[in-house]
Amino acid sequence: MIKKVFILLLNPLSLPIIWAVYLFTFLAGAARYFYLLKFGGGDRVIRLILSGLWKSSIILAVFFLITIALWIWRYFKAGLARKNKISFVIVGISTILTLYISQFLLQLEKSNYNNYLYTTFGLTQSSVELVRNVSLPVFMLLIGFILYERKRFARSNTLYSSRKVVTLFFLAILVWYSALSFVNIGDGLGYLQLSYDKEFEGFRYIVELNKVVPQNEKVILPVQGWVWPSVGNPPIVRYFLYPRVLISSSYITGQDRADNLGDAYFIALKNDKDGAIWPAIDEKNNTIIFKEGTSLSYRKLVIFSKRDSMVVYRIFFNK
């Protein structure tokens, strides 16, 4: 049985497939997030499948590293077929791209605010860090492989035994992960000291909704994006406004859906960076735009609360 597993893992296609499946499970986290965002939970089976794929990413990452270790052991003990070497080079070259993208995303998180990656792309910082931490040692192995291949034909004996190489490989991974803990300790301590208003852009609006809107009512939120990354994020807002029913503007795609809501609350938003205002209200024609490109008519619009330049409205649609 074990021999069959070894033969299967040493197949030239095994490493690229495992690497591709790992990246797929990583992206499943983003798919899960946007699915929940668009459908407000959606189908339970689909939700569980996406969650299972997302949570299995770390298992796939470990399995991928174990497969690489097996390939290294086989390489120094009995050599690898040319197809295996080509497969490893392809995977190694792809890690250049994943390393660059993951580092770019982590820089976005650092330069904006905590939880920025999740509110914008549906990716957690830890999952992006895992991609980076897996990509870097594989990329380093690629460089070592190329240099070693150039020299091994000029020498009659290998430089190291297979056992030593595998040991050094796992030791390098352990050292790398240990070093990262100390490198990132400053960021971790900094996050512990952040308040919600520092972590989430526009958090004051969420606080105001929590203070003003009754708990058994509906609240309309803007479409999540670069302008409203936190206030437009139902999973984040739901934590603070539960048990109120949250309605994303992406759901209100027509007058019939708006009328079915009956009435709801929303807070007028203004982005301090670019001056963007949400929603666009035309009181003369009794129309409102929650989502760009969708104009809705309403029967009545009243100011429910006005305090500290924050205005909470209650809107009554035509039904």
Examine the domain organization and report whether 174 and 256 are in the same domain. Answer: no
What domain count does the chain have?
A: 2
Q: Give start and end residues of each alpha helix (H) in 40-81.
A: 44-55, 57-77
- Kind of pairing between the strands at 287-291 and 280-282: antiparallel
Residues 19 and 151 in one domain: yes
Q: Do residues 163 and 83 share a domain?
A: yes
Q: Which of the listed residues 137, 169, 192 is the one where a domain comes to its end?
A: 192
Name the domain boundary from 161, 192, 223.
Answer: 192
Output the six-digit token pair for 209. 């909704």
pLDDT value at 265 more than 90: yes
pLDDT digits (tens, 9 = 90+) for 289-319: 888 888 899 999 999 988 878 899 999 997 6
The identity of residue 54, as a single letter, is W
Give the pLDDT of residue 298.
Answer: 92
Distance CA 130, CA 196 (A): 26
* 184 and 203 assigned to the same domain: no
Beta-carbon count within 10 A of 157 CB = 6
pLDDT tens profile 54-100: 888 888 888 898 888 888 888 877 777 888 888 888 998 898 899 88
Whether 151 and 22 map to the same domain: the answer is: yes
222 phi, psi to nearest 5 deg: -70, 165
* Residue 157 pLDDT grade (very low, low, confident, very high; cuts 50, 70, 90): very low
